[in-house]
Structure 1
Amino acid sequence: MFKQYIGWRFLLISIAVIIIVTTIWFVSNLSRQIQQEEAKKVATWVAANRELLQASSEANLNLAVEIVTTNTTIPLILTDESGNIIDNRNIDSAKIAQYPDYLKEQLKVFRKQHPPFIMEIDAAQKTYNYIYYGDSLILRQIRYYPYIQLLVVALFIGVVLYAISTTNRATQNLVWVGLAKETAHQLGTPLSSMEAWLELLKENDGNAPMVAELMKDVDRLKLITDRFSKIGSVPKLEEKDIIRQIENMTSYIRRRAPQRVIFTVHAAEKELPAMISPPLFDWVVENLLKNALDAMEGKGSIDLYIENHPAHIIIDISDTGKGIPKSQFEKIFTPGYSTKKRGWGLGLSLSKRIIEDYHKGRLSVKSSEINKGSTFRIWLRK
C-alpha cells in the first residue's frame, strides 16, 4: 500500500511537471509573438502619426486617422527630446489624476521594457518626439498565467495526495481494527472452555495451588482479549492515579524480567490523577517496557519519569539498550515494521494509536543513542 502511494505521488508529480513545462513553453512562445505584434502595431501607429503631420491627400489623412484611433490596448507615452511628457494613450486616467507622478513612473517602466520609436516633427529644425510603449494588459495576463496554473496544479496535487493518504490510512485502520476484534473473538471460545475446566479442577482440593496459578493466566488472557476488543471502539476514560497505574504495570513486568534488569519509577507526587482507559494505557506501558527489555538483552536499567505540568503529564521511559537509529524514529511506529525476526510490528503502532487517537495525547521517541539507550515519551492531557 505504501509503494502504491509512492507510485501515485510520482505519477501525479510527473504529470504536473509535464503540464507546467508545456504551459511555460507555450505561453513564452505566445507572449513573444504577441510582443512582436504589438511592436509592429506601435510602429504602424507611429507611421500613421507621421502621415497625419505630412498628409498629402484626403485619402491618406483618413487612413492615418483610422490607424491612430484603432489602438485601444497598447499603452503609449509621447515625450519631447528633453523627456518631457507631451501626451499619453491607454493609460488609466483615474490613476493619473490620483497620483501626480504616475505617468513619470510608467515612463521609467516603458523605457526598461522597449526601445522608443522616434518621430520626426520638423526636419529643418531637426526636432523629434519619442514614443515609449508598454505591454498591453492581455500580454501581462498571459505572462502571469503559468504561475497561476502552477498554483492550481500544486493545490490539486496536494488535495489528491491528501485524499489518497487519508484513504490508505482509513483502510489500514480498518484492517488493524478487524484483526484486533477477530483476535478477541477467537480467544473468547477457548477462554470460556478453560474457565469451565478450572471449575472442575477446583472440586479437588489437591489442585488448589495449580488452579490458582492457572486462574492468573486465564485472567491475563481475559485482559488481553478485553484490550483487543476495545480497539476500534471509543473507550471509556476514567480518572485514575497515573503513578499507581504505572507502578502496578512496572511491578508486573519486573517479576517476569531478568534479575539483572533494574526498574525505577521517579515521581515527585504521591498521587497524580489523569483521564485514561486503564486496560489500554496498561497495554501501552507494557509494550514500551517489553521493548526496552528486548533492547537490553538481559541486563541494564529501565527508568520511568513522571512529570506533572499545569495542563498535561509527561511520562518518559528510558532504557540502557542498544538504541534506535535517528532515521527510524518515525518508521518504528509504522504498522508491520519490526526489527525482531518474529515480530509482528504491531506493538508500537497500536500504542501510538491508543495514546493519540483514544487519549488525545502524543507518543514519540524523545531521544536515542546507539549502544547507550532510548527514551520514549508519552504526553497526556489532564
Structure 2
Amino acid sequence: MFHRFFNWRTALSVIAIAIVTGTIFYSQYLANKIAADERQKVETWVEAEKFLISSPPDTDTRLVSAIIINNNDIPIIGVNEAGSIIHYINLDSASVNRDTGYLHQKVRQFKNQHEPIVYIDPLNGKKDLYYYGSSTLLQEVRYYPLVQLLIVALFIVFALYAMATRNRSVQNQLWAGMAKETAHQLGTPVTSLQGWVAMLKEDPYNEKMAAELAKDVDRLQLVSDRFSKIGSTPKLEEKDLLVQIGNMVDYIRRRSPEKVQFIINAGNAQTIPIKISASLFDWVIENLLKNALDAMGGKGVITIDITQTTEQVQIDVNDTGRGITSANMNSVFKPGFTTKKRGWGLGLTLSRRIIQQYHKGQLFVKSSEAGKGTTFRIILQKSAG
C-alpha cells in the first residue's frame, strides 16, 4: 500500500514537472515567434516612415499611414549618426517632457533587448538607427513562466506545510493516546498496590517495609499522573521554582554516584514564584538531569543556573559530560532520537512539548562542546497561564 502511494506521488510529481517544463519551453517558443514578428513589424514601420517623409505630395500614402498608425504597442526611438533623437513613438510623453535624459535612457535599455534596425538613405547614404523595445504582449509571454513557477512553488510550499501540520497533529494525537493508555494501564495496579501497602502498615513488624513500598507506589502514582496530563491542558498553579528544582535535584542526587556533584546557583533570590504544572515541570527537570548523568558517565558536575527578569525566568542545566556532536545537534529533540543503548528517545521530545505547549516557554540547547559538556536552557514567562 505504501509503495503504491509512493509510486502515485512520484508519478504525479513527474507529470507536474513535465507540464511546467513543457509550458516554459512553449512560452519561450511563442516569445521568440512574437519577437520575430515584432522585428518584422518595426522594419515595415521604418520603411513606411521613411517613404512617407520622402514621397512626393501627390503620392497615395494611405497604406503607409495605416502601417504607421497601427503600430501602437511597440516603443521605437530613431537616432541619427550624430546620436541625436530624430523620432520616437509609443513612449510616455510626460516622462519625456519631465526628464531630458529619458529618451537616451530608453535607448540604452532597448540596446540590451534587440538589435537596432539600420536604415541607410539611398540618396545621401546617411545612416539612421531605430531602437525598439518589447510590446506588452511579448513581455507578458516572457514573464508568464516565471509567474507560473511562482504559483507552483507557493502551491508546493502550502502543500508541504499542510502535510507537516497534519503529520504533527497525527503525531500529537498518537502521543496523547499512548500516554493516556499508559496512565490507564498503570491505574489499576497502582490502586491495588496502595491497598496492599495500607494492609502492611497495620502490622508493626512491616512498618519499615511499608514505608519504602509507599515511596515506590507514590512514584508510580506520580508517573501515572504525568502521563494522564499529556494531551490535555493541565492547570497551572503558582509554585516556588527554587523549591521545585531543589526537590528534584535532591531526588536525583540520592540516586546518583557519589562522584557526581550538584550545584544550584540562584543569585540572591530567596524565592521565585511562577505558575507551572508541578508534576510535568518536575518531569522536565528530571529528564534533563538524567540526560546529564548519562552524558557524564558517573562523575562530573551538574550546575543549574537560575536567573530572572521582570518578565521571565531562565534555567540553565549544564553538565561536564561528553557533549553533543554537531551532527546530532539538530536531532536531539526529534522523536525516537537517542544515543543510549536503551530508551525510546522521547524524553527530550516530551520535555520540549511540556515547556512550549503547556507552559508557553522555550527549551533548547544553549551550547555544547565535545568533551566539555552541554547546557540546556529553559525560558519561562512569568505571565504564562
Per the TM superposition, whether the score is higher than 0.5 is yes
Superposed displacement of residue 28, structure 1: 2.7
Q: Tell me the matched-pair count.
A: 379
Specify the alignment match of 1:317 in structure 2: 317
Looking at structure 2, the residues matched to 117 and 236 of structure 1 have their Cα atoms a distance apart, in angstroms, of: 80
Comparing 289-298 with 33-42, greater Cα deviation is found at 289-298
Specify the alignment match of 2:287 in structure 1: 287
Comparing 215-224 with 333-342, greater Cα deviation is found at 333-342
Superposed displacement of residue 219, structure 1: 1.0
Structure 1 ranges of 4+ moved more than 6 A: 6-16, 56-60
Cα offsets for 1:106-156 (capped at 9, x unmatched): 233234433433445571x44554433221121122222233223222221
* Letter matched to residue 106 of structure 2: Q
Q: State the identity as a percent.
A: 50
Cα offsets for 1:349-380 (capped at 9, x unmatched): 11010011111111111222223222211111
Looking at structure 2, the residues matched to 80 and 263 of structure 1 have their Cα atoms a distance apart, in angstroms, of: 88
Looking at structure 2, the residues matched to 105 and 143 of structure 1 have their Cα atoms a distance apart, in angstroms, of: 22
Specify the alignment match of 1:82 in structure 2: 82
* Letter matched to residue 349 of structure 1: T
Comparing 186-195 with 16-25, greater Cα deviation is found at 16-25
Superposed displacement of residue 98, structure 1: 4.2
* Letter matched to residue 148 of structure 2: Q
SS in 2 for 1:380: strand
Map 1:130-209 → 2, pairs under 5 A: 130-209=129-208
Specify the alignment match of 2:108 in structure 1: 108
Comparing 247-256 with 95-104, greater Cα deviation is found at 95-104
Superposed displacement of residue 97, structure 1: 4.1
* Letter matched to residue 140 of structure 1: Q
Q: Tell me: CA distance 1:111–1:330, structure 2 relative to 1, closer, same or farther (3 Å).
A: closer
1:48 matches 2:48: yes
1:306 matches 2:300: no
Comparing 181-190 with 305-314, greater Cα deviation is found at 305-314
Specify the alignment match of 1:359 in structure 2: 359
CA contact (8 A) 1:122 1:128 kept: no
Specify the alignment match of 1:213 in structure 2: 212
SS in 1 for 2:130: strand
Superposed displacement of residue 229, structure 1: 0.6
SS in 2 for 1:336: coil
* Letter matched to residue 311 of structure 2: A
Q: Tell me: CA distance 1:368–1:112, structure 2 relative to 1, closer, same or farther (3 Å).
A: closer
SS in 1 for 2:181: helix
SS in 2 for 1:326: coil
Cα offsets for 1:33-90 (capped at 9, x unmatched): 2111111111222233344456699896433333233222211223444333333222
CA contact (8 A) 1:50 1:120 kept: no
Looking at structure 1, the residues matched to 279 and 319 of structure 2 have their Cα atoms a distance apart, in angstroms, of: 23
Looking at structure 2, the residues matched to 345 and 167 of structure 1 have their Cα atoms a distance apart, in angstroms, of: 22
Specify the alignment match of 2:349 in structure 1: 349
CA RMSD of aligned residues (A): 3.0
Q: Tell me: CA distance 1:180–1:77, structure 2 relative to 1, closer, same or farther (3 Å).
A: same
SS in 2 for 1:165: helix
* Letter matched to residue 289 of structure 2: L
* Letter matched to residue 136 of structure 2: L
Looking at structure 1, the residues matched to 371 and 31 of structure 2 have their Cα atoms a distance apart, in angstroms, of: 63
Specify the alignment match of 1:34 in structure 2: 34
Comparing 100-109 with 228-237, greater Cα deviation is found at 100-109
Cα offsets for 1:221-273 (capped at 9, x unmatched): 11111111111111111221111111111001111112221112111112111
Map 1:239-318 → 2, pairs under 5 A: 239-268=238-267, 269-318=269-318
